[in-house]
């Protein structure tokens, strides 16, 4: 059984009249109610379609969710489970159908991490005239109770005190789990190796090939059905679909990462190249987020690869930090700050998301390439998400909730609990609950960490004038218009010295004019 490795996992049994209810993001027999059900037990899955009509979801995301559910259904049946697979417009209709046929049954389910899911599902079950028992969601590396007890404990004068300090949380997770630890100290003597993980690969470097999967008739039929049934966004061709839809495929993808991609993951994890959409990234987030892989087995596999000399420490630690640290941290931040986080907008950003996020039509090479990647596969790696897509939106002044909706719809690994803290807080500095400053930059960062600027229509070194990179004028304009909130931030002081210089030289006037021009160009589809 796969369970959290930090905190006490839940202990419970299923009664004779209790049936596991498996959601589409919980496709595992190794955790939760299914793992505790006797052989041959009944299991309920409800394939509800109404959520898929609420947003222009990426075709690959819906193919992954529905295809994964159908393949999981078939796997359960092969293993001897008695599966009730209800296809309905809504969960309410599906539950009503189930309880009409099974009136004396109590469902046992793990709630979704998304805000209010347990309450909403309980209401639906009540309306259907049934009963449900919710148990702890085991598909994380830490328990809710363990985090809450740690967060509320006396920090003993720790300078990094506070529940929403990622570095403090990450060190606690490492200590509690024993991952990459040696007698209470971090292996290698350092907690992280960020300084070793900011390299740009040489021109002759080739990324490891992305593993290909053979998709059966169920998956291909699901992909065609999704394209016909729903108003989706993104590429509909399975040739561009690299995502595992079964446990076996997910394990193969994990093995490929550990042996082929992990060794070079660390140094190049922040780099961006127009001809290498995947770089050496794990490509495991989608599988983890629907339950095909448990985060602990991924983390333990990475740690084992290091111990066996198959990956350097900087790569192993960097990958572990993303899962054991950041993913877990996002989950706890989300549950403690909702519902306020979903609509947070502490900088008062007023603008709509530019249409280019949907069309990819822009002369800005970095945005065109990144949106193109998302359109093709429902994916781009974390630096593209943060320092291209979120950075531009923040500088543009996009309302955070609108960008969050775009991420939620277009990424195969995106769910509300995932995107909301990452996009609204980290990406757009919407709340201030853990981000200590806005993660914004001019063209300089994109140029340093990518090859995008070399072939771009715009000049990366120009702030104003024709063909000046939009990032530059927008960056200084952002600092100018948000001065009241940001000048006192100790991490922003140097930049405001430059703002003062630009005001004294009257350069800021030209910058504001350039920003006005950029907004007109965007409205006309000419940016």
The CATH architecture to which 144-228+236-338 belongs is Alpha Horseshoe (1.25)
**Which has the closest alpha carbon to 264: 322, 166, 196, 178?**
196
Residue 45 above 70 pLDDT?
Answer: yes
**In the beta sheet, which residues pair with residue 187?**
none
The third-level CATH classification (topology) of the domain covering 18-134 is: Rossmann fold (3.40.50)
CB 264 within 8 A of CB 273: no
Nearest-angstrom CA–CA distance, 435 and 445? 19
What is the rounded average pLDDT for all residues in the chain?
Answer: 95
The third-level CATH classification (topology) of the domain covering 356-523 is: DNA Cyclobutane Dipyrimidine Photolyase, subunit A; domain 3 (1.10.579)
SS3 annotation, 146-179: HHHHHHCCCCCCCCCCCCCCHHHHHHHHHHHHCC
The structure's pTM equals 0.95
Nearest-angstrom CA–CA distance, 219 and 64? 8
Nearest-angstrom CA–CA distance, 386 and 393? 10
* Every domain of the chain and the residues it spans: 18-134, 144-228+236-338, 356-523
Residue 267 structure tokens: 């140094």
Nearest-angstrom CA–CA distance, 230 and 50? 10
**Which has the closest alpha carbon to 55: 347, 356, 402?**
402
Strand-strand pairing, 106-109 and 82-88: unpaired
pLDDT band at residue 157 under the 50/70/90 scheme: very low
pLDDT band at residue 152 under the 50/70/90 scheme: confident
Which tens digit of pLDDT belongs to each residue from 445-466? 999 999 999 999 999 999 999 9
Which tens digit of pLDDT belongs to each residue from 58-116? 999 999 999 999 999 999 999 999 999 999 999 999 999 999 999 999 999 999 999 99
Nearest-angstrom CA–CA distance, 282 and 292? 14
Which tens digit of pLDDT belongs to each residue from 197-218? 999 999 999 999 999 999 999 9
Nearest-angstrom CA–CA distance, 452 and 370? 10
pLDDT at 523: 95
Residue with tokens 């053979």: 214
Expressed in percent and rounded to 5, the helix, strand and coil fractions of the chain are: 50, 10, 40
């Amino acid at each position: 059984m796969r369970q959290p490795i930090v905190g006490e996992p839940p202990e419970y049994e299923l009664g004779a009249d209790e049936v596991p209810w498996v959601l589409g993001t919980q496709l595992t027999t190794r955790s939760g109610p299914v793992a505790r059900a006797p052989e041959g037990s009944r299991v309920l899955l409800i394939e509800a379609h109404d959520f898929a009509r609420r947003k222009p979801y990426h075709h690959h995301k819906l193919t992954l969710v529905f295809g994964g559910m159908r393949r999981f259904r078939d796997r359960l049946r092969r293993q001897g489970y008695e599966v009730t697979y209800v296809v309905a417009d809504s969960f309410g209709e599906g539950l009503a159908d189930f309880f009409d046929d099974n009136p004396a049954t109590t469902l046992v389910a793990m709630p979704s991490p998304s805000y209010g899911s347990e309450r909403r599902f309980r209401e639906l079950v009540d309306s259907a005239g049934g009963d449900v028992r919710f148990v702890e969601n085991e598909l994380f590396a830490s328990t809710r109770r363990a985090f809450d007890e740690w967060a509320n404990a006396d920090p003993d004068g720790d300078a990094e005190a506070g529940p929403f300090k990622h570095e403090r949380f990450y060190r606690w997770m490492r200590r509690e789990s024993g991952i990459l630890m040696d007698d209470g100290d971090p292996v290698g003597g350092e907690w992280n190796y960020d300084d070793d993980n900011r390299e740009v690969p040489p021109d002759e470097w080739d990324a490891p090939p992305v593993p290909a999967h053979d998709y059966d008739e169920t998956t291909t039929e699901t992909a065609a059905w999704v394209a016909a049934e729903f108003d989706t966004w993104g590429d509909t061709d399975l040739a561009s679909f690299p995502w595992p839809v079964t446990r076996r495929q997910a394990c193969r993808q994990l093995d490929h990462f550990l042996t082929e991609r992990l060794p070079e993951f660390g140094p190049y994890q922040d780099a961006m190249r127009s001809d290498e959409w995947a770089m050496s990234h794990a490509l495991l987030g989608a599988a983890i987020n629907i339950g095909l892989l448990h985060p602990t087995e991924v983390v333990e596999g990475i740690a084992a690869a290091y111990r066996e000399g198959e990956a350097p420490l900087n790569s192993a630690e960097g990958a572990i930090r993303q899962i054991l640290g950041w993913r877990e941290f996002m989950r706890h931040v989300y549950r403690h700050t909702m519902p306020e986080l979903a609509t947070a907008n502490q900088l008062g950003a007023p603008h709509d998301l530019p249409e280019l996020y949907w069309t990819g039509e822009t002369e800005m090479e970095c945005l065109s390439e990144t949106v193109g990647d998302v359109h093709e596969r429902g994916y781009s790696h974390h630096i593209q998400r943060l320092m291209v897509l979120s950075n531009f939106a923040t500088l543009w002044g996009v309302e955070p909730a609108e960008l969050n909706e775009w991420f939620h719809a277009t990424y195969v690994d995106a769910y509300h609990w995932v995107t909301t803290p990452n996009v609204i807080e980290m990406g757009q500095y919407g709340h201030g609950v853990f981000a200590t400053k806005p993660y914004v930059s001019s063209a300089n960062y994109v140029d340093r960490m990518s090859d995008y600027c070399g072939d771009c229509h715009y000049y990366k070194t120009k702030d104003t004038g024709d063909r000046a990179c939009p990032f530059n004028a927008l960056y200084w304009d952002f600092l100018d218009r948000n001065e009241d909130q940001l000048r006192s931030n100790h991490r922003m002081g140097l930049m405001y010295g430059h703002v003062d210089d630009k005001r004294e030289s009257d350069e800021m006037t030209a910058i504001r004019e350039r920003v006005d021009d950029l907004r007109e160009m965007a409205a006309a589809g000419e940016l």
